[in-house]
């Protein structure tokens, strides 16, 4: 009987472009017999073919050579930027609100569902670097639309370091590890980065975002995404509008503290990746609303004085509100990291009718780069045939041959016009769905120069800073102080302080004080209009989906209360973890609870809130004190019911501080107050008390 053919060993099927599914009988490890790549069954894969048991290995051992050769070539070059990433499959559902501005059906048609693959990433670190480093996050979405693939390759910050793509190698060379020793990994806290950005003031606005809490998101679930550039949308009547794309996380925007981010980089370098995969597996999808800011398509591409072609500028949401046009739900983990997450190839030039690019010089350079980079990374021009990159729309191109060609093309005439193959395939008209570039007059004198409007580098940086709450501003001051303190060159610090003085005098003074340097005076903008939408602090408690609540218990604790808490937490889509002095199972009467985290194997970064169960009074453990002290210092929710309060007092926690919830039992008022505290993300009112005591 011929061996059963396994799907993962066959050529990709065009009908299943997103690749493998995870049903049992398709697993690679379920075939009948181990074979070579040629299908020859093998009797032994542990011993190479040798002359005797101690003799040299024989050249004729085709299995050894094939196994080792393949292994030697398992790696492909990592992405030159955004090498570290994690991804998920999902669906985008349009709500019909975009119909007036675009003819792209996947955005315009109410209720239309489009499969997507989304990859999140950090920018500077290598593939194996930590998730929680201070960095920009990539937010790249591939929409497998019926009209072809559309890729929205965005970031979690709405502006960029450079205005012209020709400088991209400069900013990246400056941010990457130093070329002599290849350190530091995945960070901007070093001389070359600050050397470049202090000399290159157009980076100032983006640097402010990178030094803010946005640079250290709590989860991919709780960060915004932005298309950054201005796009041009075209509706069914041919009318155009300029738009900016926004992803708004349904779970709210929330970040780590810098200390947590640093701890997580050591305790769990896979912090974000694990959170994405675990949540999806637990049935708690990641959700984001897609929104657009719509501006008129004017000749000068400006809106209220803001140059829409300048990627260092935003349009404040108070000026142009974000119109929600659909929802993204990420609900399926990849089956194979390499096949999907590593091989997915995003390209800003993957556009569908109804969506056009603009003349933003940063975007224009990207249109070249994303196709080009795959030739090295994926080894040739046929990477669109890799299952994760295959469109769902029918593909009928005349592209032929090349490295790793998977298709067995039939016919004789891969050229047009032809008569040999009946003149097929034919080009389409606009009415038949062709991507027809909107006719637009383009003229200008050939020159290497920016428009004058690009030279304002400070006013929006000041607007960003002054729009934030005091605690968010304090975090920015601390971030600048940390990063500049890591530089060796005094001249770089001084130059950067001079730039900060041109943003905000108080910002400059406080960073200078932290560095022990005099604060230079500058020319900071006056009377800045603020944009409250830029602050991450929620106006009230939001959802707690996917958040992690730890409950500390020990032998003799109120385990039925723990059970009640678990049910209440899970009903909110959050996760409960039982924490105890040792692993194993806790028992009391007929109740029992499996310990999910022994104190020795956990740290505060794993929890959004910690609760102490009744019946634990007297529990003293150094690790527990550290856990509670960190939770308190990071302004996270802390709660206790019954005599659990005593454990808090014994650990020196001020039980009257904001964000500390006490109760007699696990009753509704207790859980409601706890969930509200988690839904507020942090008890920032505690921050001053924390600062004062340190």
Any idea which residues carry the catalytic annotation? 82, 155
Q: Work out how close the CB of 300 gets to ligand HDE at its nearest, in angstroms, rounded to a whole number.
A: 22
Which of the 8 DSSP states describes residue 8? G
Q: Which stretch binds ligand HDE (CB under 6 A): 104-112, 148-156, 495-503, 583-591?
A: 148-156
Query: Which H helix or E strand runs over 154?
Result: strand 148-155
DSSP secondary structure, 526-588, as one string: SSPPP-GGG----SS----TT-EEEEE--TTS-HHHHHHHHHHHHHTT-EEEEEESSSSEEEE
Q: Is 214 in the site for ligand HDE (CB under 6 A)?
A: no
- Tokens representing 248 are 């708004």
Provide the annotated binding site for heme: 79, 119, 168, 366, 370, 377
Residue from 17, 19, 125, 154 binding ligand HDE (CB under 6 A): 154
Q: Is 163 in the site for ligand HDE (CB under 6 A)?
A: no
Find out whether 628 and 646 touch, Cβ atoms under 8 Å.
no
For residues 362 and 164, what is the distance between their CA atoms, to the nearest angstrom?
Answer: 4
Query: Which H helix or E strand runs over 662?
Result: strand 660-663
Q: Are strands 137-145 and 302-303 parallel, antiparallel or unpaired?
A: unpaired
Bridge partner residues of 549 (DSSP):
576, 609
Q: Is 450 in the site for ligand HDE (CB under 6 A)?
A: no
Find out whether 101 and 233 touch, Cβ atoms under 8 Å.
yes
Q: Work out how close the CB of 131 gets to ligand HDE at its nearest, in angstroms, rounded to a whole number.
A: 14
- Tokens representing 99 are 């119909």
SS (H, E, C) 579-600: EECCCCEEEECCEEEECCEEHH
Specify the residue, 138 or 679, whose C-beta has the smaller distance to ligand HDE: 138
Residue from 117, 150, 160, 271 binding ligand HDE (CB under 6 A): 160
Q: Is 286 in the site for ligand HDE (CB under 6 A)?
A: no
Helix runs in 247-399, H state only: 258-267, 271-281, 361-377
A 10 A CB-CB count for 216 gives 23
Q: Is 171 in the site for ligand HDE (CB under 6 A)?
A: no
Residue from 218, 254, 301, 366 binding ligand HDE (CB under 6 A): 366
Q: Which stretch binds ligand HDE (CB under 6 A): 42-50, 103-111, 341-349, 604-612?
A: 341-349
Residue from 98, 153, 211, 624 binding ligand HDE (CB under 6 A): 153
For residues 668 and 26, what is the distance between their CA atoms, to the nearest angstrom?
Answer: 46
Query: Tokens 């678990």 map to which residue?
Result: 566
Q: Work out how close the CB of 187 gets to ligand HDE at its nearest, in angstroms, rounded to a whole number.
A: 18
Residue from 373, 469, 625, 689 binding ligand HDE (CB under 6 A): 373
Q: Work out how close the CB of 167 gets to ligand HDE at its nearest, in angstroms, rounded to a whole number.
A: 8
Residue from 125, 148, 165, 581 binding ligand HDE (CB under 6 A): 165
Q: Is 383 in the site for ligand HDE (CB under 6 A)?
A: no
Find out whether 657 and 632 touch, Cβ atoms under 8 Å.
yes
Q: Is 209 in the site for ligand HDE (CB under 6 A)?
A: no
For residues 289 and 251, what is the distance between their CA atoms, to the nearest angstrom?
Answer: 10
Q: Is 156 in the site for ligand HDE (CB under 6 A)?
A: no
Residue from 12, 85, 125, 225 binding ligand HDE (CB under 6 A): 85
Q: Is 215 in the site for ligand HDE (CB under 6 A)?
A: no
Q: Is 125 in the site for ligand HDE (CB under 6 A)?
A: no
Which 219-278 positions form the footprint of ligand HDE (CB under 6 A)? 228
Q: What angle do CA 390, 392, 393 make, to 5 degrees?
A: 110
Q: Are strands 637-641 and 609-612 parallel, antiparallel or unpaired?
A: parallel
Q: Work out how close the CB of 470 gets to ligand HDE at its nearest, in angstroms, rounded to a whole number.
A: 30
Q: Work out how close the CB of 368 gets to ligand HDE at its nearest, in angstroms, rounded to a whole number.
A: 7
Specify the residue, 125 or 165, whose C-beta has the smaller distance to ligand HDE: 165
Q: Which stretch binds ligand HDE (CB under 6 A): 152-160, 349-357, 576-584, 657-665?
A: 152-160
Q: Which stretch binds ligand HDE (CB under 6 A): 361-369, 402-410, 445-453, 676-684?
A: 361-369
Residue 532: C-alpha distances to residues 316, 468, 612 (Å): 9, 7, 36
Q: Is 362 in the site for ligand HDE (CB under 6 A)?
A: yes
Q: Where are the beta strands (DSSP E) in 474-521?
A: none
Residue from 92, 106, 144, 168 binding ligand HDE (CB under 6 A): 168
Find out whether 382 and 406 touch, Cβ atoms under 8 Å.
yes
Which residues of this chain interact with ligand HDE, rule CB under 6 A?
A: 79-82, 85, 119, 121, 138, 140, 153-155, 160, 165, 168, 228, 344-346, 362, 365-366, 369-370, 373
């Amino acid at each position: 009987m011929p061996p059963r053919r396994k799907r993962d060993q066959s050529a990709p099927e065009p009908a299943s472009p997103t690749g493998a599914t995870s049903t049992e009988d398709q697993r690679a490890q379920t075939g009948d017999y181990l074979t070579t790549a040629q299908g020859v069954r093998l009797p032994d894969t542990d011993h190479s073919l040798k002359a005797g048991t101690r003799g040299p290995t024989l050249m004729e051992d085709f299995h050894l050579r094939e196994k080792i050769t393949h292994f030697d070539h398992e790696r492909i070059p990592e992405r030159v930027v955004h090498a570290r990433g994690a991804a998920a499959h999902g669906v985008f559902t349009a709500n019909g609100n975009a119909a007036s501005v675009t003819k792209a059906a996947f955005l315009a048609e109410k209720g239309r569902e489009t499969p997507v693959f989304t990859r999140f990433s950090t920018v500077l670190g290598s593939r194996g670097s930590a998730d929680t480093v201070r960095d920009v996050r990539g937010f790249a979405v591939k929409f497998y639309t019926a009209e072809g693939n559309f890729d929205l390759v965005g970031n979690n910050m709405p502006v960029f370091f450079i205005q012209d793509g020709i400088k991209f190698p400069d900013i990246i060379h400056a941010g990457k590890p130093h070329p002599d020793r290849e350190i530091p990994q995945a960070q901007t806290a070093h001389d070359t980065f600050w050397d470049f950005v202090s000399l290159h003031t157009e980076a100032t606005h983006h640097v402010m975002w990178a030094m803010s809490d946005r640079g250290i998101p709590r989860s991919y679930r709780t960060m915004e995404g932005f298309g950054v550039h201005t796009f041009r949308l075209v509706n069914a009547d041919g009318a155009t509008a300029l738009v900016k794309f926004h992803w708004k996380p349904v779970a709210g925007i929330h970040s780590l503290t810098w200390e947590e981010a640093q701890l997580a980089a050591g305790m769990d370098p896979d912090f974000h990746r694990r959170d994405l995969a675990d949540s999806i597996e637990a049935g708690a999808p990641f959700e984001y609303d897609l929104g657009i800011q719509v501006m008129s398509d004017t000749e000068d591409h400006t809106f209220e004085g803001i140059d829409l072609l300048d990627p260092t500028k935003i349009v404040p949401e108070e000026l142009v509100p974000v119109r929600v046009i659909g929802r993204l739900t990420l609900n399926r983990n990849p089956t194979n990291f390499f096949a999907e997450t590593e091989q997915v190839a995003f390209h800003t030039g993957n556009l569908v009718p109804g969506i056009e690019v603009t003349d933003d010089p940063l975007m224009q350079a990207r249109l070249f780069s994303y196709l080009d980079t795959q030739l090295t990374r994926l080894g040739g021009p046929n990477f669109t045939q890799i299952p994760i990159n295959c469109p769902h729309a029918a593909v009928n191109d005349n592209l032929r041959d090349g490295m790793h060609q998977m298709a067995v093309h039939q016919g004789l005439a891969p050229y047009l016009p032809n008569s040999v193959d009946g003149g097929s395939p034919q080009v389409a008209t606009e009415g038949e769905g062709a991507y027809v570039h909107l006719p637009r007059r383009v003229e200008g004198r050939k020159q290497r120069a920016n428009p004058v409007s690009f030279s304002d580098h400070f006013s929006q940086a000041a607007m960003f800073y002054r729009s934030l709450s005091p605690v968010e501003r304090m975090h920015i001051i601390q971030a600048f102080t940390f990063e500049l303190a890591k530089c060796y060159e005094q001249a770089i610090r001084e130059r950067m302080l001079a730039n900060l003085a041109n943003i905000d005098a108080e910002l400059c003074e406080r960073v200078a004080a932290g560095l022990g340097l005099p604060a230079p005076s500058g020319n900071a903008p006056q009377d800045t209009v603020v944009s409250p939408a830029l602050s991450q602090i929620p106006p009230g408690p939001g959802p707690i989906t996917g958040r992690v609540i730890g409950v500390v218990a020990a032998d003799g604790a109120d385990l039925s209360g723990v059970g009640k808490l678990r049910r209440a937490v899970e009903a909110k889509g959050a996760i409960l973890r039982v924490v105890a002095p040792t692993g194993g199972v806790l028992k009391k009467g007929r109740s029992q609870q499996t310990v999910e985290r022994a104190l020795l194997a956990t740290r505060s970064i794993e929890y959004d809130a910690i609760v102490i169960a009744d019946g634990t009074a007297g529990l003293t453990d150094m690790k527990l004190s550290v856990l509670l002290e960190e939770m308190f210092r990071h302004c996270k929710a802390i709660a206790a019911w019954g005599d659990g309060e005593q454990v808090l007092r014994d650990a020196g926690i001020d039980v009257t501080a904001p964000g500390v919830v006490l109760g007699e039992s696990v009753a509704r008022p207790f859980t409601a107050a706890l969930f509200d505290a988690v839904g507020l993300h942090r008890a920032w009112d505690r921050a001053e008390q924390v600062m004062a005591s340190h």
